[in-house]
Structure 1
């Protein structure tokens, strides 16, 4: 690689984030260029002398253990950035889905550059974790984005944002137990995009019947956008009430809202109560040390699956209908373990 190309790369890296000699060497090596520390110091001098714009200057900040941090400072009048702001940015970056990070990289790069511009103009002593190498997102259970899903996501997002009806022609599979009475194709009034457990869902109403419906974007296989608008404010209140009665996003088996009581073993209960599962959740520590959980919600496939996640460390106390469904699924698991056949069956779909 020629020196001019290398200097352009170094300038680009510094424009995006503060860099140390080590981090610059790693970045350049990843791009196929091996540069000695001595040469890199000379390159940094050249960048500072010949590559900076009128409003820029190359600053050197001393960190712990005499580590040198090179920063392009821009005099753009931006507000001061502190280490708490940096950590907040990195945490948000950590939480971005892999599919979003790849599919919307150009947009995210713009935000990164804006943040870098504000950071470089501040007097903060960076905490050394700017590159995010000390953070890891496992992306466990996330939907896998491909171009087809990205296109579908963008189209449905447009419909929700602009209050346009969608004709749902075909769905492949059913992760949320949709109504048995649904006849395809049907007109759907989309009102909310929901992110839940690594996937994206669209919530709204079936036109005509006014039934509240949540669909997994992954399962929507054929649809048509329309320019048909709909009044959403009044129906949004109805939809919100329906969603609050669900445990997660799955369709409830009926229109009833139950008081669900679950007893957890002490250690499991301590873990459960430290997390958010439903807006109605409340807990009580029993004399035995076990933890009792109370929920006010409907019964659906997601609730049963969530209970089974805790294996033998939870007991269903009430209501009786939940006990019955829990036992039914237990028997189903036993039957499958003793059979050579595994088949799909959804007994949770309401009429």
Structure 2
């Protein structure tokens, strides 16, 4: 019942329809009394829905992406992402998987144009059409698995280089408990400090996404290593301060 409620943003999509069929089978197997108990329990559980994407009108688009995944078909996609991903351009993608991250779906796909695996936020996919015929099938990259791809990603963000970064972040006591309560990455390791703070160790091949995550903690987080990550955080914090200074001087 709880999973049914969590999937409500996908009502009308193939993912929702599959869950509904499963629910009907469970209902038939358990009987009405058991279902009523589950519904009562479900009423005591909720989700804030804060920042969650709405896919209720994107059933056909998701169907095309799922078809591409199941039958290894190339999918013609019109993508309206940022400039780095080809804003508003038509791309030929080989869908490899979907990841639910921070309330949104991300497509992990082989980009024929770029010759590499990339992530695409489904919200920014304007249209998708699976190509027909065996001649339009793509080959899954050798050794690829969604789990191994995620193992070096931070959320859904993964660098393209081979270098792995040894990351160390110190959190003040006020944020230490929150950080330790959550799972951030398979390589995470915590070192508790005498003052109640905690030092987080990560091993990633991407720095941009983790720098933005660190900034969300404000002065409660301090980057100890590497220097390149310190520079990214400093540059972003400096830009924020400059904007605030302009506003305080009456700028727009």
Query: Does TM, scored on the shorter chain, surpass 0.5?
Result: yes
Contact 1:160/1:191 (<8 A) preserved = yes
SS at match of 1:188: strand
Closer, same or farther: CA 97–112 of 1 in aligned 2, 3 Å: closer
CA RMSD after TM alignment: 3.2
The change in CA–CA distance for 1:179 and 1:100 in structure 2 (over 3 A counts) is closer
Name which one, 1 or 2, has greater alpha-carbon Rg: 1
State whether structure 2 residue 178 is matched by structure 1 residue 271. yes
| Cα deviation digits, residues 255-283 of structure 1 (max 9, x gap) | 42101101112241122112111111111
Secondary structure in 2 matching 1:268: helix
Question: Could you tell me how far apart the structure 2 residues matched to 1:125 and 1:185 are?
Answer: 46
Question: What's 1:298 paired with?
Answer: 205
Deviation at 1:210, TM superposition (A): 2.8
Q: Mind listing any 5+ residue stretches in structure 2 that lack a counterpart? A: none
Measured in 2, the distance between the counterparts of 1:183 and 1:234 equals: 30
SS in 2 for 1:234: coil
Q: How does 1:171-320 map to 2 (within 5 A)?
A: 171-174=79-82, 178=84, 184-207=89-112, 209-227=114-132, 228-232=136-140, 234=142, 236-237=144-145, 241-252=148-159, 254-320=161-227
Tell me the SS of whatever aligns to 1:191.
strand
**Gaps (5+ residues) in structure 1?**
1-89, 343-351
What SS does the aligned partner of 1:338 have?
A: helix
Shift of 1:208: 6.3
Contact persistence 1:193–1:202 (CA under 8 A)? yes
Residue equivalent to 2:4: 93
- The Cα offsets for residues 144-190 of structure 1, whole Å up to 9 and x where unpaired, read as 2242x22211211111111111233x42233xx8468x995443221
**Is this contact kept in 2: 1:248–1:303, CA < 8 A?**
no
Q: Number of aligned pairs? A: 245
Between 1:267-276 and 1:125-134, the stretch displaced more is 125-134
CA distance in 2, matches of 1:231, 1:285: 46
Q: Structure 2: how far apart are the matches of 1:100 and 1:183? A: 24
Q: Structure 1 length normalisation: TM-score?
A: 0.61
Tell me the secondary structure at the aligned position of residue 195 of structure 2. coil
CA distance in structure 1 between the aligned counterparts of 2:84 and 2:119, rounded to whole angstroms: 8
Tell me how far apart the structure 2 counterparts of residues 150 and 184 of structure 1 sit (CA, whole Å): 21
1:315, distance to aligned residue in structure 2 (A):
0.9
Aligned residue for 2:154, secondary structure, equals coil
Name the counterpart of 1:84.
none
TM-score (norm 2): 0.82
